[in-house]
Chain A
Amino acid sequence: ELKVEQNPLFLSMQEGKNYTIYCNYSTTSDRLYWYRQDPGKSLESLFVLLSNGAVKQEGRLMASLDTKARLSTLHITAAVHDLSATYFCAARNYGGSQGNLIFGKGTKLSVKP
């Protein structure tokens, strides 16, 4: 059974600093997704990573995937307050249904001035 673990679960950082959120998954998965959820709001798709070594960037966020290590990272560069949100990663069980996603518990990011 695929399990997806994120760490840290809570992250408080200062504006301008860099940090990385880690997403480990327990069994083979061939794709990894990152989502953002603002407080009291719905989820927004950020990145889809489809192969080993995939890297995607948008603004101050960069996501990467290492399928051999079963690890995805979400790197935050020079954080700003607007990035405060909860970030979820999700993976699909390799060989499982394409409809079924397993989510991590989320990382609540708070960026302070």
Chain B
Amino acid sequence: EAQVTQNPRYLITVTGKKLTVTCSQNMNHEYMSWYRQDPGLGLRQIYYSMNVEVTDKGDVPEGYKVSRKEKRNFPLILESPSPNQTSLYFCASSLGPPAGTTSNQPQHFGDGTRLSIL
């Protein structure tokens, strides 16, 4: 079954304690993205990756790091989390670019990770 898997689904942690949210896809997709969703703000893109070792900043990259060492994995790293990073995070993958022209290659989203930073 085609899937984007995020872990953990829920995490409560404290300010400053480094954490990693993993994302894995089994569809051999080239493009992967991280978004955060906040009430009243919709989804905002944090980082995206076009392929292995190729990443770029989205709209709200501050305080986050990513890496893409393998095609299937795209972890999101919070080196020193702060309360303003409390949010619902989604990972997504697609065969083509998320904003590309191929209509039959939509983004597939994971189930989300709810992070609470105290």
Residue of B nearest to A104 (CB): B42
- Report the bound CA distance from A42 to B92 in whole Å: 10
Contacting B at CB under 8 A, from A98-113, are 98-106
- Of the residues B40, B92, B108, B110, contact of A105 by C-beta under 8 Å: B40
Q: Does B12 contact A (CB under 8 A)?
A: no
Residue of A nearest to B33 (CB): A99
Q: Does A25 contact B (CB under 8 A)?
A: no
Is A99 in contact with B101, judged by CB distance below 8 angstroms? no
Instruction: Tell me the total A-B contact number using a CB cutoff of 8 A.
Output: 70
Q: Does A50 contact B (CB under 8 A)?
A: yes
Q: Chain B: how many interface residues by the 8 Å CB criterion?
A: 30
Q: Does A43 contact B (CB under 8 A)?
A: yes
Q: How far is the CB of A20 from chain B (nearest CB, A)?
A: 19
Is B45 in contact with A106, judged by CB distance below 8 angstroms? no
Is A101 in contact with B98, judged by CB distance below 8 angstroms? yes
**10 A-B residue contacts at CB 8 Å?**
A48-B103, A50-B101, A50-B103, A88-B42, A88-B43, A90-B99, A92-B99, A101-B98, A101-B99, A103-B42
Listed in ascending order, the chain A residues whose CB lies under 8 Å from chain B are 31, 33, 41-45, 48, 50, 88, 90, 92, 96-106
Q: Which 10 A-B pairs have the closest CB atoms?
A: A45-B106, A92-B99, A98-B97, A105-B42, A99-B48, A48-B103, A42-B109, A103-B43, A43-B109, A103-B42
